[in-house]
Amino acid sequence: MQHPCLTCGACCAFFRVSFHWSEADPGMGGHVPIELTEPLRTHERVMRGTSQSQPRCIALDADIGRYSRCTIHDRRPSVCALVPASWEFGEASPQCDKARLGHGLPVLTPEDWTGVSEDEKNPLPEG
């Protein structure tokens, strides 16, 4: 059984991904590729494509509901790592449910995690 996010991608094509500018500033230890971002407000940047009326992150390689991968997964903004999939850690995730429903996908259930190892689940960011 594979991680349900690998066949989803709905959150990356539903929400605006905004974060503190320092996450994309190499001089400040930032890790998000700055060329994939654009300014939002004074202290925020946003992933390109996510501040549109029909958001879709520039780093998303997906056919929503069939396959999904983040092309910068190991360098993604912290806000991305903070959105758990529903039932990944034993409870529903309103953000996950909203994004999936917005793309016509059913919400995840505890049964969707049967056979997914703890090592495959999304680790919380360090810090």
Q: What is the pLDDT of residue 1?
A: 73
Per-residue pLDDT of the chain (127 residues; tens, 9 = 90+): 788 999 999 999 999 999 999 999 888 889 999 999 999 999 999 999 999 899 999 999 999 999 999 999 999 999 998 989 999 989 999 999 999 999 999 999 999 988 877 777 765 444 3
Give the pLDDT of residue 35: 96
Distances (CA, A) of 126 to 30, 32, 64, 82, 123: 14, 15, 28, 11, 9
3-state helix, strand, coil in the chain (%, to 5): 30, 15, 55
